[in-house]
Amino acid sequence: MRQTEMVAAAIRARHPELKIAIVGMTTRGDRILDRPLAQVGGKGLFVKELEVALAEERADIAVHSLKDVPMEIGGGFALATFGVREEPFDAFVSNRFASLDAMRTGAVVGTSSLRRECQLRRLAPGLELKALRGNVNTRLAKLDAGDFDAIILAAAGLRRLGLAARIRQVIPAAQSLPAIGQGILAIEYLAGRSDLAQLLAGFEDRATACAARAERAVGRVVEGSCEVPVGAYATVRGETFEIEAFVGMPDGSRLVRKSASGACAEAERVGDALGEQLLAAGGRDILRALQASHA
């Protein structure tokens, strides 16, 4: 809701003649809190109800965190990035420890992200990881109640909610590559709405759009979803970018990480090629093992 309010304010500031109304909705991803997303349907849980509202013309646009949008969206919908990317990395939040490195063996860390779990287990195998679902305030309340020694959240969400002071450490990419599209706002709308495409084009940040295209191309190749621990992060400089990506097993026992670079004009091609590199270097075996475990 906070992100939607930010988008509405930005549109009003540039187009004061437009009347804007916010339609609040709760998705299955918001309601199912007793199981990890990987067990109940993945990223699509945060999108489906909003797409129905668009199709039924109860809403003109839907505001998403790009990291929650499936790599493939329905043919009747279009997607546009909105504004400059917020802090893309994960945040370490704790009332007891100053950083990940300061945590003792056996400390309890809350996360329900397989991507975070994979990298944390590899980085600090002595930690105890426990599932943590709910919105940001719910997760912080569980931390403050003493249920966890630390929790891992997206730094972008904390900053947008005015809770940056809760961040003890922004975890660098060297330790934890972020989710594909993390920190990027995305707007979904009906593909035939050329009026909306024109309106939203004015809010696109070229560097953010380049990173989104490259990272999502990697995800499409390696079947990126909540069921597959995968991360990618593109750093854009002018008209070129560098991108790192990984795919791994949830327990951290296997992880393949590769990097690439190229021109923003070829963001999808470079992302596709990097995804293929990950698969060839062992990612395909990881995917087979994950599929076998879910069979």
pLDDT of 241-265, one tens digit each?
999 999 999 999 999 999 999 999 9
Tokens of 89: 């990395």
Of 294 and 1, which is predicted with more confidence? Answer: 1
CATH number at residue 156: 3.40.190.10
- The answer to whether position 32 is within a domain reads yes
**Given CA atoms 216, 212, 170, 239 in this order, what sign does their dihedral have?**
positive
CATH number at residue 249: 3.30.160.40
| Catalytic sites, residue numbers | 68
Q: In terms of domains, do 8 and 60 share one?
A: yes
Q: In terms of domains, do 109 and 161 share one?
A: yes
Range 211-215 average pLDDT = 98
- For residue 214, the model assigns a pLDDT of 98
- For residue 223, the model assigns a pLDDT of 81
Q: In terms of domains, do 74 and 127 share one?
A: no
Tell me the C-alpha distance between 41 and 272, whole Å. Answer: 25
Number of H helices, E strands in the chain: 11, 11
Q: Which domain holds residue 258?
A: 205-295
Tell me the C-alpha distance between 219 and 243, whole Å. Answer: 12
Task: Render the burial of 93-109: b for 16+ CB within 10 Å, e for the rest.
Answer: bbeebeebeebeeebbb
Q: In terms of domains, do 132 and 51 share one?
A: no
Tokens of 26: 């709760």
Given a cut of 50, whether residue 180 has pLDDT beyond it is yes
With contact defined as beta carbons under 8 Å apart, do 74 and 51 qualify?
yes
- The answer to whether position 282 is within a domain reads yes
